[in-house]
Amino acid sequence: MKAPAPAPTAARSGSNKRRVLIGAGIWLACMLILFPAWIGTAILLGSTERNAGGVALNVVLTIFIAVVGLPLFHRAMYRWFWHIERKRLEGMPMDTPLPKYGSEPTAPAPRIDWPWTLRLRHALVHVLGITTLIYIFLPYANQLFFARVISQYSGGRASAGSLNSLIFFYLPLAAVMGLAVLLTWRQMRRRDAGLLDDHERKLLEAETTWLFSWGAAFVMALLLCRFSGSMITRFL
């Protein structure tokens, strides 16, 4: 006689506990890495200015988010995008509201045999994203400039949040999604004309998923860099 399957609520509870434990472990590991890096950076910079601690912390967090956070965000978003795609293939209507990120267990993304041209493109896109984040947020003067602009052109906390969202979410999201469309435009036109075989159509689907999930991850990293910078300039 087969044992009864575990109840969905119990399975969901176990999954939530695992997420909490994983999150706590990642947080602890980050603290063990970032705190010594902060102190070391402050010593290396050798600044005696009043905001020396803030400058060093901004350097450490920006580099960490760009180099470590962006690839991790992309991996998570890539897996989630494939989860949504599988649900649609199983019959989920297009007008159905999408589930909240992380609200459902996901299977690993399918393994793709990427051609070398797309591997090169992926590497260049990652390098471009990391370089852009560091170029924009690493200089402490830039973080101060962003804070002044938001303060000057907003009438309060609510409007400041809206302005931050416009500058660091909606505009970058439109830019990276436009880049994704531009990079896949030719293949999409060939697909619509029926010129792609099954393998090429699947590869185009995977590449589109990769690019759009990277765009979402890049915007997440952008917002996190801006948020950390705003906290540093305000309290340090």
29, 33, 36, 41 alpha-carbon torsion, rounded to 10°: -150
Residue 158 placed within a domain: yes
User: 């952008």: which residue's tokens?
Assistant: 222
Residues 112, 118, 122, 124, Cα dihedral to 10°: 160
Range of the domain at 211: 9-235
Q: Say if residues 23 and 202 touch (Cβ distance below 8 Å).
A: no
Prediction pTM value = 0.84
Residue 3 resides in a domain: no
Distances (CA, A) of 84 to 79, 93, 212, 213, 230: 9, 11, 13, 12, 33
Domain membership flag for residue 154? yes
Task: Let me know if residue 203 belongs to a domain.
Answer: yes
**Quick check: is 4 in a domain?**
no
Q: Tens digit of pLDDT per residue, the chain (236 long)?
A: 444 444 445 545 555 666 667 667 666 767 777 778 877 887 887 766 677 888 999 999 999 999 999 999 999 999 999 888 888 877 777 777 778 877 788 888 889 999 999 999 999 999 999 999 999 999 999 999 999 998 888 777 778 888 888 999 999 999 999 999 999 999 999 988 888 888 889 999 999 999 999 999 999 999 999 999 999 998 87
| DSSP symbols for 39-94 | HHHHHHHT--STTHHHHHHHHHHHHHIIIIIHHHHHHHHHHHHHHHHHHHHTT--T
Residue 211 covered by a domain? yes
The total number of structural domains in the chain stands at 1
For residue 1, count other CB atoms closer than 10 A to its CB.
3
Domain assignment present for residue 1? The answer is no
Instruction: Tell me whether residue 147 is exposed, middle or buried, using C-beta atoms within 10 angstroms of its C-beta: 0 to 12, 13 to 18, 19 or more.
Output: middle
Q: Is residue 213 part of a domain?
A: yes
